[in-house]
Amino acid sequence: MNKKETVFVVSDSIGETAELMVKAVASQFFGKEVEIKHFSYVEDIQDINNVITNAKYSPSIIAYTIALQDLKEYLDHRALEEGIMAVDLMHPLMDAFAQTFDMQPSLQPGQMRKLDENYFKRVEAIEFAVKYDDGQEVRGLKQADIVLIGVSRTSKTPLSMYLANKQFKVANVPLIPELPPPQELFQIPRKKCVGLIISPEKLNDIRRERLKSLGLTNAANYASLERIFEELDCAQNIMKKIGCPIIDVSNKAIEETADIILAMFNKRGSFAQ
């Protein structure tokens, strides 16, 4: 029985950069991900020895990002002794920086995380999007950078998450004829709100597929054109009352809709970022 190809991702930090690089390269050879085993926050010789012990019993590569020169050299030495391929993902580029820009690296572990404020902003935005998804905790709408409104299956949630990955705090609220919209929608600046609409036919197809995936009948009221027309009419009336811009997402990918929203908000100067 052949042993599975394995890449040991070794880092003096969390190792997410090394993992992304490994996955990108592996996709060119296997068409799928190889098995990846993590050794994060490696900080001494014993940690390196643990990596070597695990790696030498299978066809494997060690891909590493280690800033400390002594630790890096020890890993290279031990890997060579055991006949294991070890690939330094960081120092060649670091050397290029030093030579080209006439600078010296700090050689301190975890520097990227310390400096990358964008990472923490993105995490905060994603947590916000989850908390205020689908009309939950409407009191938080005033804290949002963007508020998306629309009927069910107009891509509010995936669009919220996409924008959150770009560091924007996004809340979304479903519009349902039987439920009055939250008053908070009328209390926030209308420039923060975006209405999402879709053609009745497109929405009918999407909802029918959704019901099929759930094993439910297509005859359910949720997917009927009569119900869809009622919902869309109600939603557009609310959007007009709010006075927010409206985007037709019928034939748009999430990325395309997001680009429209960001261009619109940036033009208005609505973002403090």
Does 153 count as an annotated binding residue?
Answer: yes
- What one-character-per-residue DSSP string does 181-246 give? PPGGGGTS-GGGEEEEE--HHHHHHHHHHHHHHTT--TTSGGG-HHHHHHHHHHHHHHHHHHT--E
Cα–Cα distances (Å) from 27 to 12, 51, 106, in that order, read 25, 24, 33
Whether 154 has a binding-site annotation, put simply, is yes
For residue 84 the two structure tokens come to: 């294991």
Q: Is 152 one of the annotated binding-site residues?
A: yes
The answer to whether 156 is a known ligand-binding residue is yes
Which amino acid makes up residue 43? E
Q: Where are the beta strands (DSSP E) in 26-145?
A: 35-39, 60-65, 85-88
Residue 83 is assigned to a ligand binding site: no
The response to whether 60 counts as a known ligand-binding position is: no
DSSP 3-state of 160: helix
The CA distance from 196 to 174, in Å, is 10
Whole-angstrom CA distances from 208 to 94, 100, 164, 198, 222 are 53, 58, 28, 15, 8
Point out the annotated binding site for ADP: 150-157
- Which residues carry a binding-site annotation? 150-157
